[in-house]
């Protein structure tokens, strides 16, 4: 197959789709590149949506991923407000809502994820918010301005970022079924630190609870919980995870698992003309030798760029180390590698607001989380794959990269 023949059509103009386009062009792809998005906006960055954009007006103007004329300069044709509704694999065309068709030589699906919703709190109901897109963030910011009681369903990263951005002057309650915050994403020592800082900011946590029912009247929303008294709120923000947008691929007969569109270490599906990139891709990482899906900015950027390059010149395969960050109040957490160990070694005193946690798996350091310690992270990363040195927990003994 020659992927340089015919136009490259990319479905989804998020971070991954954009990086596919840019990398393919940079690698010498000479044909047309069409970037098709069902959103009305040019590509923008999502992380600020749960942080700066919620805090103050104006930040939404600083989140463009391809500012100025950069797309035009790379001859990347952007089509916004155009949902792709079907793939015709035989004719090598995608069909857009409205019926128009676009021909492709190579098709990349970079359709990302959508929020998981709760039936008792439907998206679009007054005072109910989910957060994935810029429009979601602007609607939430508008409603927050008039709200004094905010219920957040889900104590994961997005829920906590929203709690941090909305806690000033409001009564914020986080409802979380697990016994700790960010339980899926980080180790208990890091969760404990974040929970404490949120409590200091006045946030209330209801752990071990889920939503049994929800009803709205003129006083706001009444949430009946699986345990404990009802909770009354002016607005309810739901952050209970995401689902990959795999329907297009599935309807076209491509292999799809509950975790995403199945691709190899180069982003290839079973159809030699169709690839998938970013958060929607259940991809192979050659470091781990298994299929996985990641919901992080760094992965969407790296995987998009890797797939874009692979269209022209496949290398040995995708091999990025997983990483993510979150910002809440003045706390910055950067996680590198496996974010939860069989055991975890804390270096530094969390009470001082700056510490590292090394995650140990099978006797070796498999990951590290740095809380307000990004400079130490540089050396700490080099310890990955090595057994923990004896003085690792003692911050008085300098961290040394293995000889
Ligand atoms: C509020 C928020 C905050 C975040 N904060 C952080 C953070 O602090 N740190 C971190 O590491 N990660 C963070 N992330 C995660 C990170 O932003 C995502 O993993 C990344 O944006 C995924 O990029 P993507 O391009 O794969 O998918 P997406 O960004 O989901 O883009 C996919 C695009 O495809 C479009 N699309 C879908 N189907 C179709 C179709 N049929 N036709 C046309 N277009 C279609 C979608 O509308 C969307 O625009 C955050 C995410 C969110 C939502």
Does some domain include residue 386? no
pLDDT at 3: 55
Q: Which residue's CA is the closest to the ligand 1 atom numbered 45?
A: 12
Task: State which residues form the domain around 140.
Answer: 117-238
Distance from the alpha carbon of residue 37 to the mean position of ligand 1, in angstroms:
12
Question: Token pair 């970013």 is at which residue?
Answer: 278
**Atom from ligand 1 closest to the CA of residue 85:** 41
The whole-angstrom separation of Cα 379 and Cα 399 is: 7
Same domain, 166 and 252: no
Write the pLDDT tens digit of every residue in 311-354: 999 899 999 999 999 999 999 999 999 999 999 999 999 999 99
Residue 232 forms beta bridges with which residues?
A: 222
Same domain, 136 and 94: no
Distance from the alpha carbon of residue 397 to the mean position of ligand 1, in angstroms:
41
Distance from the alpha carbon of residue 27 to the mean position of ligand 1, in angstroms:
24
Does some domain include residue 173? yes
**Atom from ligand 1 closest to the CA of residue 133:** 53
Same domain, 110 and 254: yes
Q: Give mean pLDDT, residues 180-204.
A: 98
Q: Which residue's CA is the closest to the ligand 1 atom numbered 9?
A: 325
Largest CA distance in the chain: 66
pLDDT at 288: 87
Does some domain include residue 302? yes
Distance from the alpha carbon of residue 243 to the mean position of ligand 1, in angstroms:
11
Number of domains the chain is built from: 3
Same domain, 181 and 217: yes
Strands 242-244 and 113-115: antiparallel
What is the average pLDDT value for the chain, to the nearest integer?
96
Does some domain include residue 83? yes
Does some domain include residue 315? no
DSSP string, 180-199: STTTTTS-HHHHHHHHHHHH
Q: Which residue's CA is the closest to the ligand 1 atom numbered 53?
A: 132
DSSP character for 341? -
Is pLDDT of 1 > 50?
no
Same domain, 229 and 272: no
Is pLDDT of 56 > 70?
yes
The whole-angstrom separation of Cα 336 and Cα 356 is: 11
**Atom from ligand 1 closest to the CA of residue 247:** 41
Distance from the alpha carbon of residue 50 to the mean position of ligand 1, in angstroms:
13
Distance from the alpha carbon of residue 21 to the mean position of ligand 1, in angstroms:
16
Query: Taking a C-beta distance cutoff of 8 angstroms, is the pair 176, 228 a contact?
Result: no
Same domain, 30 and 110: yes
Distance from the alpha carbon of residue 121 to the mean position of ligand 1, in angstroms:
22
- Ligand 1 pocket test: which of 21, 108, 164, 279 has the largest number of ligand atoms within 8 Å of its C-beta? 279
pLDDT at 356: 98
Distance from the alpha carbon of residue 217 to the mean position of ligand 1, in angstroms:
34
CATH classification of the domain holding 341: 3.30.390.30
**Among candidates 352, 356, 339, 341, which has minimal Cα distance to 393?**
356
Strands 128-130 and 235-238: parallel
**Among candidates 195, 61, 217, 42, which has minimal Cα distance to 126?**
217
Give the three-class secondary structure for 175. strand
Taken in order 201, 206, 208, 211, the sign of the CA dihedral is negative
Distance from the alpha carbon of residue 325 to the mean position of ligand 1, in angstroms:
15
Does some domain include residue 390? no
pTM of this structure: 0.97
> For the chain, how far is it from start to end, CA to CA, in angstroms?
45
Distance from the alpha carbon of residue 267 to the mean position of ligand 1, in angstroms:
17
Q: Which residue's CA is the closest to the ligand 1 atom numbered 28?
A: 112
> Residue 362 class from Cβ within 10 Å (0-12 exposed, 13-18 middle, 19+ buried)?
exposed
Strands 149-153 and 171-176: parallel
The whole-angstrom separation of Cα 142 and Cα 5 is: 47
Last residue of a domain, one of 238, 271, 297: 238
Q: Which residue's CA is the closest to the ligand 1 atom numbered 37?
A: 111
Same domain, 298 and 257: yes
Q: Which residue's CA is the closest to the ligand 1 atom numbered 34?
A: 12
Same domain, 128 and 206: yes
pLDDT at 4: 57
pLDDT at 133: 98
Residues contacting ligand 1 via CB (< 6 Å):
11-17, 36-39, 46-47, 49-50, 83-84, 110-113, 131-132, 158, 245, 248, 278-279, 295-298, 300, 324-326
- Ligand 1 pocket test: which of 9, 10, 15 has the largest number of ligand atoms within 8 Å of its C-beta? 15
Write the pLDDT tens digit of every residue in 73-114: 999 999 999 999 999 999 999 999 999 999 999 999 999 999
């Amino acid at each position: 197959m020659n992927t340089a023949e015919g136009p490259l059509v990319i479905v989804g103009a998020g971070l991954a789709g954009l990086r596919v386009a840019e990398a393919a062009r940079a690698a010498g792809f000479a044909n047309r590149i069409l970037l098709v998005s069902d959103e009305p906006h040019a590509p923008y960055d999502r992380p600020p949506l749960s942080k700066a954009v919620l805090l103050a007006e104006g930040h939404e103007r600083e989140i463009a991923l391809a500012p100025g004329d950069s797309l035009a300069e790379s001859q990347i044709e952007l089509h916004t407000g155009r949902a792709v509704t079907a793939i015709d694999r035989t004719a090598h065309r995608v069909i857009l809502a409205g019926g128009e068709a676009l021909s492709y030589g190579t098709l990349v699906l970079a359709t990302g994820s959508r929020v998981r919703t709760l039936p008792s709190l439907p998206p679009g109901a007054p005072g109910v918010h989910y957060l994935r897109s810029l429009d979601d963030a602007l609607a939430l910011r508008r409603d927050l301005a008039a709200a004094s009681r905010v219920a957040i369903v889900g104590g994961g990263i997005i829920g906590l970022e929203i709690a941090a951005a909305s806690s000033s002057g409001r009564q914020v309650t986080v409802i979380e079924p697990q016994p700790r915050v960010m339980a899926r994403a980080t180790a208990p020592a890091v969760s404990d630190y974040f929970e404490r800082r949120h409590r200091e900011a006045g946030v209330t946590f209801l752990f071990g609870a889920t939503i049994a029912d929800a009803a709205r009247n003129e006083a706001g929303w009444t949430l009946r919980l699986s345990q404990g008294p009802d909770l009354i709120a002016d607005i309810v923000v739901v952050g209970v995870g995401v689902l990959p947008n795999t329907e297009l691929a599935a309807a076209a007969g491509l292999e799809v698992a509950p975790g995403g569109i199945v691709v190899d270490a180069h982003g290839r599906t079973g159809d030699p003309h169709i690839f998938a990139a970013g958060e929607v891709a259940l991809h192979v990482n050659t470091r781990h030798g298994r299929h996985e899906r990641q919901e992080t900015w760094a992965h969407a950027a790296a995987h998009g760029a890797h797939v874009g390059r692979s269209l022209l010149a496949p290398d040995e395969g995708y091999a990025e180390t997983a990483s993510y960050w979150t910002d809440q109040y003045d706390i910055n957490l950067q996680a590198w590698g496996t974010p939860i160990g069989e055991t975890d070694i804390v270096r530094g005193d969390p009470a001082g607001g700056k510490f590292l946690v090394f995650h140990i798996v099978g006797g070796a350091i498999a990951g590290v989380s740095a809380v307000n310690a990004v400079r130490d992270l540089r050396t700490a990363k080099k310890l990955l794959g090595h057994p923990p040195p004896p003085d690792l927990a003692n911050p008085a003994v300098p961290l040394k990269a293995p000889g």
